[in-house]
């Protein structure tokens, strides 16, 4: 069974919320990137130093994000 448009939209929104934002610095410590929606860097979000420099996001996440983005675009 394929996913409904709503499920695709939800997954895209969830993933987008975590996409690193390299334009915006952390509102707490000025580090980049920040976690999309939160405006905080990885360590300030999770309290884990190994989430620095966008380490919470990998190539697989980016590929999935791009795939979903195209599906969402196609729904419009
Ligand atoms: Zn920070």
- pLDDT tens for each residue of 9-54: 999 999 999 999 999 999 999 999 999 888 999 999 999 999 999 9
The C-alpha angle with vertex 71 and arms to 75 and 16, in degrees rounded to 5, equals: 110
Task: Read off the pLDDT band of 1 (50, 70, 90).
Answer: low
What per-residue confidence (pLDDT) applies to 72? 97
Cα 6 to ligand 1 centroid, rounded to whole Å: 33
Instruction: For residues 46 and 56, give the distance between their C-alpha atoms in angstroms, rounded to a whole number.
Output: 10
Cα 47 to ligand 1 centroid, rounded to whole Å: 9
């Amino acid at each position: 069974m394929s996913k409904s448009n709503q499920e695709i939209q939800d997954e895209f929104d969830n993933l987008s919320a975590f996409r690193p934002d390299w334009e915006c610095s952390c509102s707490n410590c000025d580090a980049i990137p920040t976690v999309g929606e939160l405006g905080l860097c990885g360590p300030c979000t999770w309290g884990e130093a190994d989430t620095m420099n966008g380490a919470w996001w990998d190539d697989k996440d980016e590929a999935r994000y791009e795939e979903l983005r195209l599906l969402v675009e196609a729904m419009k």
